[in-house]
Chain A
Amino acid sequence: MDKLTSDDAFELGNQFRDTAIALGDWRISNLSCLSKAQWDELDEREVMLLNIASSIYTAAVGMVLQDSQAALTRLQSSVESAKLAIKHIATLKQALDLASALVLLAGTVYSGNAAAIPGAIVALEDAAEAIATPGEPSE
């Protein structure tokens, strides 16, 4: 026999609930034919059925919770990634590196120090690439 799924369990709960409600409707529509003892006995059966249905729903909710564990773990991992990305934005050292590299380049250009310019350009390129290229940002 296949394992009971949460959907099966919910459906089973519905059947118990609907049966209890149908019994109650029958009891009321036939109240003139029932003695007090019969009325009470039927009433207790209905309560029992409704409580059983409620217990089945509780069990089915547990099954859904168990089934959703994998998705929950994956979602939490995405949340961690977002937090990490936010942390990088808050302390984005690379952006400051880039700004500093730009200052260095501007300084070398205006000072006429031709020998220092290639190094300043490389520093600027590296800093810009480190930030703009998708990948692991460094702090």
Chain B
Amino acid sequence: MICFSHTSGRYLQALATIFLVSAVSGCASFKEVKSFASLSSNAASHGALTKDYIGALDRRKQYQPEKFHAGLDAQKVRREAQRASLDLLQQSVTDYMQGLNSLATGDVRPYDRSLKDLSSDLNKATLLTHDEKEAVGALSIILARAVTTVYRLHEIRKLIHDGNQPLQDVISATRKIVMKGMIADLQIESALVGRYYDNFMLAPDNPVEPVAMALAKEARTEALGRVNSRIQSARSYDVVLEKIAQGHQYLYDNRDMVGNKEFDRQLKPYVDGLRGAYRNLLGGSP
């Protein structure tokens, strides 16, 4: 063994770098970031809503005189043309959250497989004893994982920093479409359904048939109930989007603390809120 005197400064500096990297990564916790991103990626896309928005025009034909059907068909064509853009809005949030989830998950398994090659290199290092080879190999794997974690932490913070504003804008646009467009449009459907059955039951000169009236009343309640459950589902989706936006804003505001265990605890209520909203959406979907 030699004396370290000539090189001890640089050697210690290198070791300090290694231990610093290991220490930082040793504390990193992405558990709740991972949960938030995973839940968000599942909850952000609600394809049924777009399908329902386009399908509404066909549904409404039964409640309107035939002379209006051509207009409904023309409007359906306009909505069909919006389908790809509507899907893309939702899909972009899903893609973004999948990216965040993958970074937070950081699959190191393939990386460990690559490190197995190291053992053959170590075996060729004939100047090392068996124990020394074991120790160097173990340390190398720990170190390699540590730098990966530091890199992930940096990339997660960068992604949250760069992604927050466009994400908030995209979610805001989607919420506006859902609340002001789709739900308002479903309220029109509700008016059309009510009007259709009211005509049947109340129009002048209609014969009063008690059985037919009772059936019409029942059918009116059922049809309005179906529209109402569509409205509820759209509202639940809006709440999910609101929770995703709030959670990500919290991530952005505290991005320097990402990886910290205390931050993980603080993020948990946002994750729980999103989970509850998503369950509500799944439970209430028509």
Binding site for B on A (CB under 8 A): 6-7, 10, 13-14, 17, 20-21, 24, 28, 31, 34-36, 39-40, 43-44, 46-48, 50-51, 53-55, 57-62, 64-65, 67-68, 70-79, 81-83, 85-86, 88-90, 92, 94-96, 98-100, 102-103, 105-107, 109-112, 114, 117-118, 121-122, 124-125, 128-129, 131-132, 134, 137
Chain A, residue nearest B205 (CB): A36
B144 touches A99 (CB 8 A): yes
Residue of A nearest to B81 (CB): A62
B6 touches A114 (CB 8 A): yes
A31 to B169, CA, bound (A): 48
Interface presence of B224 (CB below 8 A): no
CB distance from A122 to the nearest CB of B (A): 8
Note all chain A residues with C-beta closer than 8 A to B136: 102-103, 106
Whether B188 pairs with A96 at a CB distance below 8 angstroms is no
| Contact B184–A14 (Cβ < 8 Å) | yes
Asked if B144 contacts A95 (CB within 8 A), the reply is yes
Pick from B85-93, B210-218, B238-246, B271-279 the stretch touching chain A: B85-93
Query: Complex: how many Å from CA A51 to CA B65?
Result: 12
Q: Quick one: which of B96, B118, B188 contacts A100, CB cutoff 8 A? A: B118
Give the docked Cα–Cα distance between A105 and B140 (Å): 12
A115 to B140, CA, bound (A): 23
Residues of B within 8 A of A114 (CB): 2, 6
Give the chain A neighbours of B194 by CB distance below 8 A.
24
A57-B181 CB under 8 A given contacts A35-B204, A89-B151, A125-B17: yes
Q: Are B191 and A102 in contact (CB under 8 A)?
A: no
9 A-B pairs within 8 Å (CB atoms) are namely A74-B166, A76-B92, A78-B96, A85-B158, A99-B118, A100-B118, A109-B2, A125-B13, A132-B147
Q: How far is the CA of A73 from the CA of B166 in the complex (A)?
A: 8
Contact partners of B176 in chain A: CB under 8 A: 6, 10, 64
> For chains A and B in complex, what number of residue pairs have CB atoms within 8 angstroms?
260
B82 close to chain A: CB less than 8 A = yes
Contact between B82 and A65 (Cβ–Cβ < 8 Å)?
A: yes
- 7 additional A-B pairs beyond A36-B203, A55-B78, beta carbons within 8 Å, are A10-B181, A31-B204, A61-B86, A68-B170, A71-B173, A107-B125, A128-B14
Q: A interface, by DSSP: helix, strand, loop or mixed? A: helix
Q: Across the interface, name the chain A residue whose C-beta is closest to B108.
A: A89
| Contact call B158/A72, Cβ cutoff below 8 A | no
The interface residues of chain A lying within 8 Å CB-to-CB of B79 are 58
Whether B2 and A48, one on each chain, are in contact in the complex, defined by CB atoms closer than 8 angstroms, is no
B99 and A129 form a contact (CB under 8 A): no
Chain A residues within an 8 Å CB radius of B96: 75, 78-79, 82
Contact of B198 with A28 in the complex, beta carbons under 8 Å: yes
- A17-B177 in contact given A54-B75, A68-B89, A137-B151 (Cβ < 8 Å): no
Cβ–Cβ contact A110 & B103, under 8 A: no
B173 touches A68 (CB 8 A): yes
